[in-house]
Structures are given as structure tokens and as C-alpha cells.
Amino acid sequence: MIEVFVAYASGNDFHGSMIRKACEGASTPSRKLLPWSDRDTSGFPIAQSVEDWIERADSFIGDVSTVNDNVTFEVGLAIGLGKPCRFIRSTHVDFTPTKNIGLLDTLGHDEYGYESQLERTLKKNDTSSRWPDVPKLKNQPLFVLQPPTPLDWSVRLNSAVKKTARLRFRGFNPSEISRLSALEAYEQVMSSYGVISCWSPGQGEEARRNNQRASFVHGLAKGRGIPCLLIAREGEALPLDLNDIATRWKELSDFDKIISRFRDEVADLQNDFIETKSDRGNILDQVTCGDPTAENEAAGLSQYFLETEGFQKALNGEASVLVGRKGSGKTAVFIRVRDRTRTDKSNIIIDLIPDGYQLVKMKEYILDQLGHGARKEVISAFWEYVLWLEIAYKLIEKDEQKAYRDPALLVKFEKLQALFNDRVDTGAGDFSERLKRLTSSIVARFEAHKDDGQDIKDLKSSHVLRIIYGEDIKNLRATVLDYLRIKGFVFFMVDNLDRFWTPGGFTDDDALIVVGLIESMQEITRKFRNNGLDFRWSIFVRSDVYEFLVRGMADYGKLAVQSLEWSDRDLLKVMFERRVLSAFSNTTVGWRDLWGTVSDAYVSGKPVLDFLVDGSLMRPRYLIRLFETARRRAITFGRSRIVEQDYSSALKELGWQVIEDLDREIADLIPNGSDLLFEIIHAGEGLTVDKFRYVASKKLTDPESVNRLLEVMLWNGSLGVCQNGQPKYIFDCGYKRQYLTALIEADSDARLYLHPTLRAALA
């Protein structure tokens, strides 16, 4: 007899009763539908029982009407086990919460209203769309589902993965990409030898999103037999299916032991795994544009990276501040510059990708109590201290083995090591942990002065510097410079500076932190030059933040600023072609032959490459995501080529991603700016400057904020201005915001256009 396991959320008696009755009516002597509530759980852990039932079932049906972590885990488990899967949802239940999460709503499903319609649906054949064959990624064997907000424990977890597991990992970071589809999650899990997800406490929107993703990827991994951890704090109550299988932690030190054991499981799978070639022969399984997040592509980036002018200037030390919108490829440039300069082992390359929340405490306890001038002095001193310590740390890390084989080097090494250890206990952590520890020490020293009755505002400049440094750093600085005479150049690189922002928006203090870092880099450059040494530095900043906040504070004329924005459509097409062809590096396949095989040529009369570039807002991340979504959809429907409808549906899905991302970008720069983009979109067609200001003023009472909102939306590409009857966007005029502003000032009735990708989401 064929057994079909039917999963659904409990809590609504009428809904549950209807499903049970429909299952009974749809069952036959040769095929029985078994709703989970009919199974006997007495004497067995719930999770163990559910896993056993689904494993023994011949097929699986999941009701995705509501957001439910148990059902989502079971869906993932069934897919991981390779069961034929179908999904159903009630038309009487609001599907908006599921759509907002953006996970299970991307799976095809049958709708039903009442019992008779559901019964007919349940009688359908037990078949489902196939899932793609995904090769394992040996260079980045771990996949880590990051929590929505970095906290002490998540930083410690990442540090343990880097330092204890010593394995490269890919991750999904919700602060970078707001949506994760079911197919994307599937490909990330199936390409991994180990999967780590984290449980978020609470019932907020971000926690619900994270926990749905964690439930799904954990189910996928368990079903496929991939080592997996679901990390949760001890005592945290999880849904029944997950409560007994989560890995619990109590102290931060627990993560080292947890990851150490997990590393052994991953190593066992790596040793035992035998790659088998698929007999399906679908070329779309091989064609890929890669991951939209550069960190997840670090191992293979060299195969297809396009060396633009911005990259060359950064590599040669000619550009110090590199700016670009989110998704423009800043991190890809960061990775390639780092890897190219590392090839000379005498060079000292310090690449930092921090989590910014470590500075929140310093801002709250110190900066808020100081005047503007004193804040700037404190920040510059803090960064200079951090930078000298990081140079010392890198020298010690790099020469630890070499020094004990070279007596002449050992003397310098031990002196440097002693000076460094006097100032900071590094432990086994990465930069995020070291920065957190150092920040906490400085805050504690300031707090000690407050306990003595001294007001921070009344402290003299020299006293403030002593508190930050702990003691004079001249000796440490001189020792570092002396040590470097036997080395090549020092290249200091800092990426992801947008992660230093205050939650809820970018503040003047955040801008001061960036400016202070820039000034500290300039000061260290002068000291290196005075000693005949070569010091290079590059920091990567979001272009909107730099344009609207940092630029006005920094001495702009003295900075070597390089834009990483894309304005050449043909270059973006070349980048795309290289990425796709890199999967066929061992063959002589040509672009024209390959593209003609895997894709339709036109979408709504437009060449596909032009459609992809237009839909991307000139951001490589969106171009990659748009193509990959269309490719995955074609595979789901069993096609061997991507057709026009796949691209149209992919653009609609990307539209929601873009709306969410741009809304976050706006909220970073405009106080109370969250959700304003949705208000503007709902204003509909015929949007003029006056109408824009009217809609925005409902939430922003300050005219200056309304004008700033318009400028930010012009900058990020969500809005264009009519010129000669056609929309002109920021990337059509060399990212000269002043040009678009001039068009508006020349015509008070100038029409504004929402970008077509945003409109596609509402189509």
C-alpha cells in the first residue's frame, strides 16, 4: 500500500478537521493518506516519530497555508529525503505572512477552499517537480545561516567556525540579502558538507523569518544526511519537532567544543563522500551565474573576475576610499585585491570584515557624553590604536613558526609579541572578537573614571588618550616600524563598513567613525613614509552613505576616492558571460552556442541580456539573482532551457527583493524613513515631484527630510526623472545626482518614474 504523509499546522480545529476528513475521503485501498495527527506518538519523542513517519512514507503533502516552523521543518525533511512532494494552501487563510518571509511561497502549490475541493486535490498522483542536481563545493564546505542581528554569541560562533573548524564557509546574511527562496536554500544545503543554522528568540518579523529558514535548511540537511547544527540557547523553547534535536549552548566557551565535534562530522562526510554524475543530462544543472554574495564566491572568483579601472586603482594603492551601492561588487574587488597582493609572501595584508555592533557600546557610553570635537578626537585615537594593534597581530600570526627557526628574527618577534600581549589578550578569536574585547576594555576604563566622580566631559585631551591607549603606544609603534623593515609593503583593507551603522539608521556618530578611520589611515601613512616604509590602505563604503553623510565631514579634496558603480552596460554583460562560461572551463564551448542552447533569445521583444541588465538597476548582485531565479524556475518545471515566462516571473520575484533592500537603504539615511518606499509605490502612475512630496510629507514633517528622501531615491535608482519623454536614471548620467536635480529644478511639474523592476513586483 502507498502511504502519503500529510503535514499541517495545528491550532485551528475547523481547518484540522477538514484536512483529516479530506484525507479519509481521498484514501483508497491501495493508497492511504495519513495526517500527522492520526499517528500514535505515545512513548516516543515527537521529532523522532515525525522523522520516522516521513522516512517510511512513499510521498509527502504539506499544507503551507500558515507560517509554522514544524511544518516547514517537515517540508525540508521530505525534500531532503527525496520524497515526491506536493504542497497545498487554503484560500481562506491570509497568505501575506508567508509571502513576506519569501521561502515556502516560492514553491508551487494547489489552492483549496473547502473539503470537497481539497479531497479532489489530495487524489492527484504522487508526483512532483524535480529538484536540481547540485555538486558539492569542496573549497567552501560549510553553509552558515546567519541570525538577523549580530550578537555576542553569533560573533563567537563565527569565530569558532574560522579558528576551530578552520574551514571556509558560505553564509546567508539577512542584512545583505533580505530574501532566501526555497530553491536557493536547497542549493546551498545540497552543495555543502555541513550546515549550521541559528534559532532567534522572540516573535518579531525578523525572528520569524530567520526561524522559518532555520527550520527548512535543518530539515533539508537531516533528510539528505548532511551534518547539521541548529544552535539555540539553553532553556529556549523551540517547536516540538525541533526542541529535542537543537544543539544547546550556555556559555560562550561552549561554541569551541560544539564546533570541534561538528568539524569531525564534516570531515567524516568529506572522506566518505563519493561524487556521482547525474544521468538526467539537463544542461541547466551545469549553467550557473554563481552566488550573488561575493563572500560565498571567494574560492572561484579568480576564474571570472572582471578587472575594472576601480580594481586596478585599488590594487596599485591609487584609491583609498572605494564607494559603491550595495550589490555593486565592492566585496568582490576587496577579495581580488587581497588575494593578488598576498601572492608576495613578504607583503603584510590585513583584511578586516567586521561586524559593527561591537562599537555600539562605545558610542552609547562614551561618544554620547562628549562634544563634537572631543568625539572626533576619541574616534581617531581609537582607530589608530586598533590599526597599530592589528598590524602587530598580523606580524605575530604570520611569523609565529618562522621566528623560531631564525634566531635573528626571534629577538624582534619576542619583543613585538610581549608588547602586544601587554595590551590585548587575543585568545583564539577573529577580528570581530578582538574589536569587541578592546572596545569593552576602553569602556571599562572610562566607567572607572566615572566611578571616581570624574565627568567624561571634563577630562583633558591627554587624559582621554591615556584612557584609550591604556598606556603610551609609542614603544609599540616604534617596534612595529622596526620589524617591518624586513618586510614588503603593508596593505590595510576594511570592508563592510556599513555594518558599523547604528540599528535603525545612520547617525552623525557613525559618520564620525568612518571619518576617524580615514584620518587614522592618513596619519599612519605619514608615519610609514617618514620611516621609508610603504603603507597602502583601502576602505569600502556604501556610495549613498558616503555621498550624503561622510563626504561633507571628510576633507574630500585630499582623498583618493574611486567609484565602483557600473555605468557601462556592455561591461556588465561581459561580466555575466564570464561567470556563466566559468562552469565550462574544461570544455571549448563558446558563448553563442551555449546561450542559444539554454535560453530564449527575447523577453517581450527585448534581447535577454538587455532584459537582465535593465532589471538589475546596474547592480551585479541583482543581475545574478534575476538570472538564477529564472534558471531555477525552468529546472523546477522540467525544462532544458529558460523561456520568456521564467524571466518574467523572476523579475517579479526580484522586484520584491529590491523593494525590501531599497527600503532598508532609505531607512539608514532618513530618520523615520522605513516603509516610505511602499507609500511612494502605492501612489501609482503619474508621479510628479509635487505628488511625491505630498505623499512623503504624511510621514516626514520636515521639508528638508522630504527633499533628502527624493535625493536618496534618485541615487539608489528607484526613481528616475522624465527627460524628452523618457525616464533618466542615476546610472544613465554617470551617477551625477546634480544632473537629475537640475532636471527637477528646471521643471516643477517634472514627472518621476518608478524603476520597472519595482513596478514588476506589483504587476
pLDDT, tens only, 76-104:
999 999 999 999 999 988 888 888 888 88
- Going by C-alpha positions, the residue among 258, 249, 261 that lies closest to residue 153 is 249
- Going by C-alpha positions, the residue among 234, 186, 239 that lies closest to residue 211 is 239
The strands making up 321-324's β-sheet, listed across from edge to edge, are 348-352, 490-494, 535-542, 321-324, 561-563
Q: What is the pTM of this model?
A: 0.85
Residue 43's pLDDT band (boundaries 50, 70, 90)? very low
Residue 511 contacts residue 359 (beta carbons within 8 Å): no
Most confident by average pLDDT, 137-151, 324-338, 443-457, 463-477: 324-338
CA distance 239 to 199: 11
Q: Mean pLDDT, the chain, as a whole number?
A: 85
- Going by C-alpha positions, the residue among 614, 613, 617, 573 that lies closest to residue 595 is 573
CA distances from 685 to 216, 220, 741, 748 (A): 39, 43, 21, 17
Higher pLDDT, 362 or 535: 535
CA distance 750 to 687: 9
CA distance 499 to 356: 5
Residue 201's pLDDT band (boundaries 50, 70, 90)? confident
Residue 646 CB burial class (10 angstroms; 0-12, 13-18, ≥19) = buried
Q: Is the pLDDT of residue 69 over 90?
A: yes
Q: Which tens digit of pLDDT belongs to each residue from 515-557?
A: 888 888 988 999 999 999 999 999 998 888 888 877 766 665 6
Query: pLDDT above 70 covers what percent of the chain?
Result: 90
Q: Is the pLDDT of residue 359 over 80?
A: no
CB under 8 Å to 560, separation ≥6 — which residues?
313, 318, 319, 320, 321
CA distances from 216 to 74, 87, 243, 466, 497 (A): 8, 14, 15, 51, 31
Calculate mean pLDDT across residues 411-427: 77
pLDDT at 732: 92
Higher pLDDT, 288 or 248: 248
User: Comparing 40-49, 279-288, 338-347, 550-559, which segment has the lowest mean pLDDT?
Assistant: 40-49
Residue 106's pLDDT band (boundaries 50, 70, 90)? confident
pLDDT at 231: 94
pLDDT at 672: 83
pLDDT at 757: 95
pLDDT at 42: 46
User: Comparing 177-191, 254-268, 431-445, 529-543, which segment has the lowest mean pLDDT?
Assistant: 431-445
Q: Angle at the Cα of 71 (from 66 to 77), degrees rounded to 5?
A: 145
User: Comparing 26-35, 151-160, 276-285, which segment has the lowest mean pLDDT?
Assistant: 276-285
C-alpha cell of residue 474? 609609542
CA distance 661 to 656: 9
C-alpha cell of residue 387? 590599526
Partner residues linked to 59 by β-bridges: 4
Calculate the CA dihedral of residues 710, 714, 716, 718 and round it to 10 degrees: 90
Tell me which residue has cell 614588503.
488
Residue 713's pLDDT band (boundaries 50, 70, 90)? very high
pLDDT at 487: 82
Residue 40's pLDDT band (boundaries 50, 70, 90)? very low
pLDDT at 372: 63
CA distance 554 to 230: 44
Q: Is the pLDDT of residue 37 over 60?
A: yes
Residue 471's pLDDT band (boundaries 50, 70, 90)? low
Residue 190 contacts residue 216 (beta carbons within 8 Å): no
Query: How far apart, in Å, do the first and last CA atoms of the chain sit?
Result: 45
Most confident by average pLDDT, 44-58, 232-246, 358-372, 572-586: 232-246
